[in-house]
Homo-oligomer: A and B are copies of this chain.
């Protein structure tokens, strides 16, 4: 993951133009929130009350606060206030339009060029049926194209928003710090899994060899390649000391106890 870039004056807005499906509005809100964005503007949506419709709320799931904070405006002009870098999302490159770029490469370049200048980046999504108007695309700095199968490029609106939100968040440095907290329970285990050293592995191998001979699985006179093969398996597994201990326990236990004692 790219380290967080130096400039911190970054504002991110998602703009939906003439969206017709309430479910998509909810889906976009949720897609934004999981990636830590909250500025949503709807330009002339099909339903005036789209932010309060049942389907919208349902698909937004826990992102109700994004819906609550969203604005509905009549024109793209109003939606763009304060924004400095406009990204169209359009599958079809336009003549005379902005350059068409993949999101990942564009974001990396954008952030590497950036200075300390405050910046507002807007992602514009056209309507489900007609996409974006040419004139709306023309005013953008870039047309972001998510790479899709050449025969089927029909990304769902909320899915496209999810991919862009994800890429943009990673480009901004991801959630590396807080995310590590999410894994705290994993870290100690990871430390426990320090690789066993060569001596421990050698001890394991001879213990197994001994037991395999005792149970009659390994013929010491015709060992074939059994032990080297087991060694390879254990090597590839990169065993921890604790795991060596477990596997030696198996080797010990697989040998039947002294038969005389059983008769007792």
User: Residues of A at under 8 Å CB distance from B?
Assistant: 1, 23, 27, 30-31, 33-36, 59, 61-63, 91, 93, 95-96, 99-100, 102, 104-105, 145-150, 152-156, 158-159, 162-163, 166, 169-170, 174-176, 178-179, 181-183, 185-186, 189-190, 212, 215-217, 226, 229-230, 233-234, 236-239, 243, 246-247, 249-250, 253-254, 256, 259, 262
Chain B residue with the shortest CB-CB distance to A143 = B186
Copies in the complex: 2
With A27-B156, A61-B156 as given contacts, are A243 and B229 in contact (CB-CB < 8 Å)? yes
A100 pairs with B183, CB closer than 8 A: yes
A204 to chain B, nearest CB (A): 12
Q: Is the Cβ of A104 less than 8 Å from the Cβ of B1?
A: yes
User: What residues of chain B lie closer than 8 Å to A104, measured between beta carbons?
Assistant: 1, 170
Q: Which 9 A-B pairs have the closest CB atoms?
A: A150-B178, A254-B254, A217-B253, A36-B149, A237-B237, A93-B186, A159-B162, A34-B148, A236-B237
Decide: A34 near B166, CB < 8 A? Known: A102-B1, A174-B147, A234-B237. no
Residues of B within 8 A of A1 (CB): 102, 104-105, 147
Cα–Cα distance between A176 and B262 once the two chains are bound (Å) = 62
* Across-interface contacts of A174 in B (CB, < 8 A): 147
- When distances are taken between beta carbons in the complex, the residues of chain B under 8 Å from A147 are 1, 166, 169-170, 174-176, 179
Residue on B with the closest CB to A149? B36
Known contacts A30-B159, A162-B162, A259-B262; 20 additional CB pairs below 8 A are A30-B156, A33-B149, A34-B153, A34-B155, A61-B156, A62-B152, A93-B182, A95-B185, A145-B183, A149-B178, A150-B175, A150-B179, A155-B162, A156-B162, A159-B159, A163-B166, A217-B253, A217-B254, A237-B237, A250-B254
Whether the Cβ atoms of B175 and A149 lie closer than 8 Å is yes
Which of A34, A36, A95, A99 has most B Cβ within 10 Å? A34
Cα distance, A162 to B238, chains bound together (Å): 33
Say yes or no: A183 contacts B239, CB within 8 Å: no
A133 to B250, CA, bound (A): 27
